[in-house]
């Protein structure tokens, strides 16, 4: 079964760092792009960026450039999204999703990681 399994809920304080994960299984990890999407409480979907694990090609939305860092570990088939200094405004659900073949959009989604940043 093709799936993306995300790490669990996080509760952090402003200024702390964080790295959340997304482990892929059931398909060739290095031949599909993986993206990240933010959903703030009660709000819509925000496209953070996308990366190609096969050669670490990474594209950020201008809105998130410099705010987060995407990476991947081919040996563990895991994608990561990290922050060096969290803000309360980073409180949101974060989804990883696989970009499907052709012009399919995101065809496989993780269940999301809830990140709460509060003092």
Partner 1 sequence: DIQLTQSPSFLSASVGDRVTITCRASQGINTYLAWYQQKPGGAPRLLIYAASILQSGVPSRFSGSGSGTDFTFTITSLQPEDFATYYCQRLNTYPWAFGQGTKVEVK
Q: Contact 2/107 with Cβ under 8 angstroms?
A: no
Q: Tell me the three-class secondary structure of 72-114, residue by residue.
A: EECCCCEEEEEECCCCHHHCEEEEEEEECCCCCCEEEECCCEE
Query: Does residue number 73 form part of the binding site for partner 1 (CB under 8 A)?
Result: no
Q: Which residue has the tokens 């993206």?
A: 35
Q: Which lies closer to partner 1 via its Cβ, residue 1 or residue 102?
A: 102
Which region, judged by CB under 8 A, interacts with partner 1, from 9-17, 18-26, 46-54, 75-83?
A: 46-54
Query: Does residue number 63 form part of the binding site for partner 1 (CB under 8 A)?
Result: yes
Query: Does residue number 83 form part of the binding site for partner 1 (CB under 8 A)?
Result: no
Which region, judged by CB under 8 A, interacts with partner 1, from 15-23, 43-51, 66-74, 83-91?
A: 43-51
Q: Which lies closer to partner 1 via its Cβ, residue 74 or residue 111?
A: 111
Q: What DSSP assignment string belongs to 10-33?
A: EEE-TT--EEEEEEEESS-GGGS-
Query: Does residue number 37 form part of the binding site for partner 1 (CB under 8 A)?
Result: yes
Using left for φ > 0, alpha for ψ between -120 and 50, and beta otherwise, residue 56 falls in left
Q: Which residues bind partner 1 (CB under 8 A)?
A: 35, 37, 44-47, 49-50, 59, 61-63, 95, 97, 100, 102-107, 109-112
């Amino acid at each position: 079964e093709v799936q993306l399994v995300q790490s669990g809920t996080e509760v952090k304080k402003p200024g702390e760092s964080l790295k959340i994960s997304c482990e892929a299984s059931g398909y060739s990890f290095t031949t599909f792009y993986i993206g990240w999407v933010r959903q703030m409480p009660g709000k819509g979907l925000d496209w953070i960026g996308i990366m190609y694990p096969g050669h670490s090609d990474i594209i950020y939305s201008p809105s998130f450039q410099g705010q987060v860092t995407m990476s991947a570990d081919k040996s563990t088939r895991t994608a990561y999204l990290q922050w060096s200094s969290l803000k309360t405004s980073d409180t949101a659900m974060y989804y990883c999703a696989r970009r499907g073949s052709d012009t399919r959009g995101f065809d496989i989604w993780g269940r999301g990681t809830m990140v709460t940043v509060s003092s």
